[in-house]
């Protein structure tokens, strides 16, 4: 599982409606182009900025990191917002912390 957090500056937005239009376009584009899960998770009431979380699941960590890095790069080239910060975390679901969550399903 991998998560990309994108902090965006939306300079052209003068209202929440303007901001939501940009966020919606980004979200829809990522969902359709890369089959990713996308949600706005921060600065919900600030019309000039947004934080998006982009998630994907794969059993290949290198591929997952590559996909999320490419998404961060691609979004940086899109019009409507400027990427001011990115953060990527890739986890293996079988790591010790996550394994206990699955034990109940498998053994229970």
**Predicted local confidence at residue 62, as pLDDT:** 92
Structural domains of the chain, with CATH: 2-107 (3.30.70.1120)
**Predicted local confidence at residue 22, as pLDDT:** 95
**Predicted local confidence at residue 24, as pLDDT:** 95
Block means of pLDDT (10 residues each) for the chain, 108 residues, are 95 94 94 89 94 92 93 94 95 58 43
Which residues sit opposite 50 in a β-bridge? Answer: 8
Question: Exposure pattern of 63-74 as b/e (b: 16+ CB <10 Å)?
Answer: ebbebbeebbee
What's the N-to-C CA distance of the chain in angstroms? Answer: 23
**Predicted local confidence at residue 104, as pLDDT:** 43
User: Quick one: which of 66, 72, 62, 63 has its CA closest to 4?
Assistant: 72
Between CA 99 and CA 105 the distance in angstroms is 10
Q: Is the pTM of this model over 0.85?
A: no
**Predicted local confidence at residue 96, as pLDDT:** 42
């Amino acid at each position: 599982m991998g998560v990309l957090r994108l902090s965006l500056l939306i300079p052209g937005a003068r209202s929440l409606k303007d901001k939501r239009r940009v966020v919606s376009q980004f979200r829809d584009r990522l969902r359709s182009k890369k089959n990713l899960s996308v949600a706005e998770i921060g600065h919900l009431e600030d019309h000039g900025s947004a934080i998006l979380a982009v998630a994907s699941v794969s059993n290949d960590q290198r591929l997952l990191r590559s996909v999320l890095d490419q998404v961060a790069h691609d979004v940086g080239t899109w019009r409507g917002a400027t990427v001011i910060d990115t953060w990527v975390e890739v986890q293996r679901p079988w790591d010790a912390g996550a394994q206990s969550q699955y034990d109940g399903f498998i053994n229970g």
